[in-house]
Amino acid sequence: MARTTLLGRLDWELGELVELVPETPRVASLYFNVPMWPGHLAGQHVDVRLTAGDGYQAERSYSIASPPEGRWVALTVERLDDGEVSPYLVGELNVGDKLELRGPIGGHFVWRAGDNRPLLLLAGGSGVVPLMAMLRHRSSAEHKGPARLLYSSRSLTDIIYREELERLAGSNDGLLVTHTLTREKPAGWTGYSRRIDSAMLNEVAWSKGEMPAVFVCGPTPFVEAAADLLVAMDYDPMWIKTERFGATGG
């Protein structure tokens, strides 16, 4: 009910694409200038609407990748070959084109700088997008609590924001980034090479006594498995905020 009420107060706004940055062979970040943008929180999302020449419309929701203090509204989109929206966004949209956006949406899966609790982020695939908004927001904060990201990807080339994550982790401000690859690993890979499990989380996550803020995002099976593992480690379910996505038309 609250989500329906919120959407009823939001208007569709035109955003102009000002930059497109390839992230992986199938993923790109799109940066929009939205003149009437009201501002957002790290972790929120937007609706995107496409209208065909015959009037047919398709809508999809995408997490916001940019931090609240960013100049542009950034969306990071994975192209799905059988999708209605993502192939256009990633393969056909050009700088200068305009798109209908509605948002920001969501008030539960958000993180604000100034929360000094340890921050534990668990990402599966493109579920890293809203978590990246949180890390970018954290990087600009004057005071930073410790943070850890455990990121599960299929292969090294599927890691979204790989170079930026390396830079953030190398800034020595209390961020630890850990990767696990579930399908292919390159020669010499020394990181994890399996799906997340209790042994991995026991090595990466804080003890329950630290009472961290936890955000988990990714495909539904990943999110459910991660949340169950954390609860089995005696994490309070109230600490764990989740956001999941399943198969859609893209």
Q: What is the CATH number of the domain that holds 163?
A: 3.40.50.80
The runs of H, that is alpha helices, within 121-206 are: 128-139, 162-169, 198-204
User: Is residue 60 domain-resident?
Assistant: yes
| pLDDT recorded at residue 10 | 86
User: Is residue 110 domain-resident?
Assistant: no
Last residue of a domain, one of 80, 105, 130: 105
User: Is residue 111 domain-resident?
Assistant: no
| pLDDT recorded at residue 239 | 87
Q: Are residues 26 and 144 in the same domain?
A: no
User: Is residue 123 domain-resident?
Assistant: yes
The three-point CA angle 39-74-8 to 5° equals: 50
Angle between helices 162-169 and 128-139 (to 10 degrees): 40
Instruction: Provide the token pair at 209.
Output: 């006594």
Alpha-carbon Rg for the chain in angstroms? 18
Q: 3-class DSSP state for residue 11?
A: coil
Last residue of a domain, one of 47, 71, 105: 105
Q: Are residues 52 and 143 in the same domain?
A: no
Q: Are residues 126 and 229 in the same domain?
A: yes
Q: Are residues 68 and 149 in the same domain?
A: no
Q: Structural domain of residue 17, as residue ranges?
A: 2-105
Domain count within the chain = 2
User: Is residue 114 domain-resident?
Assistant: no
Burial of 143 (0-12, 13-18, 19+ CB in 10 A): exposed
pTM of the predicted model, to two decimals?
Answer: 0.93
pLDDT tens digits in sequence order for the chain, 250 residues long:
233 334 447 899 999 999 999 999 999 999 999 999 999 999 999 999 999 888 899 999 999 999 999 999 999 999 998 889 999 999 899 999 999 999 999 999 999 998 889 999 999 999 999 999 999 999 999 889 999 999 999 999 999 999 999 999 999 999 999 999 999 999 999 999 999 999 999 999 988 788 899 999 999 999 999 999 999 999 999 889 999 875 444 6
| pLDDT recorded at residue 103 | 96
| pLDDT recorded at residue 211 | 85
Q: CB under 8 Å, gap of 24 or more: what pairs does 8-11 form? A: 10/102, 10/103, 10/105, 11/102
Last residue of a domain, one of 57, 75, 105: 105
Q: Are residues 222 and 158 in the same domain?
A: yes
User: Is residue 169 domain-resident?
Assistant: yes
Q: Are residues 99 and 148 in the same domain?
A: no
